[in-house]
């Protein structure tokens, strides 16, 4: 199936730094979602975006649905050790989900 381009592939940051990752696609989506996956677990939804241009926050996380509907970004402010994990974007079109390639985040205390 289709996969979305997600970057960066991995990040190593110091605790307290801000993080930014993005996702792009050649297709237009109706919904963009961001998930976090801990090792050995299923993905957990962080933020859902339903409208082009929408900017939504969830605590230290902020995500935006790109105007073109072909991209989205996720920012994490003031990172903490428990932010460690793999972050996936997902675009939804109809009843289908397409996942990004993932961003592995390591936070160094």
Partner 1 sequence: GAVVSQHPSRVICKSGTSVKIECRSLDFQATTMFWYRQFPKQSLMLMATSNEGSKATYEQGVEKDKFLINHASLTLSTLTVTSAHPEDSSFYICSASGGLYGYTFGSGTRLTVV
Footprint of partner 1 (CB under 8 A): 1, 3, 6, 31, 33, 35, 40-45, 48, 86, 88, 92, 95-102, 104
Nearer to partner 1, 18 or 38 (CB): 38
Nearer to partner 1, 77 or 93 (CB): 93
Is residue 101 within 8 A of residue 1, CB to CB? The reply is no
Q: CB of residue 77 vs partner 1: minimum separation in angstroms?
A: 24
Q: CB of residue 29 vs partner 1: minimum separation in angstroms?
A: 13
CA distances to 1, 13, 14, 101, 109 from 47, rounded to whole Å, are 23, 22, 24, 17, 25
Q: Is 47 left (phi over 0), alpha (psi -120 to 50) or beta?
A: beta
Nearer to partner 1, 18 or 96 (CB): 96
């Amino acid at each position: 199936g289709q996969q979305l381009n997600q970057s960066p592939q991995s990040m190593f940051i110091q605790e307290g730094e801000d993080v930014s990752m993005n996702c792009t696609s050649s297709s237009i989506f109706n919904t963009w979602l961001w998930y976090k996956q801990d090792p050995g677990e299923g993905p957990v939804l962080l933020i859902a975006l339903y409208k082009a241009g929408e900017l939504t926050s969830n605590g230290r996380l902020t995500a935006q649905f790109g105007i073109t509907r072909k991209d989205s970004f996720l920012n994490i402010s003031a990172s903490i050790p428990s932010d460690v994990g793999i972050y996936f974007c997902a675009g939804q079109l109809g009843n289908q989900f397409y996942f990004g390639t993932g961003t592995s985040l390591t936070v160094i205390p």
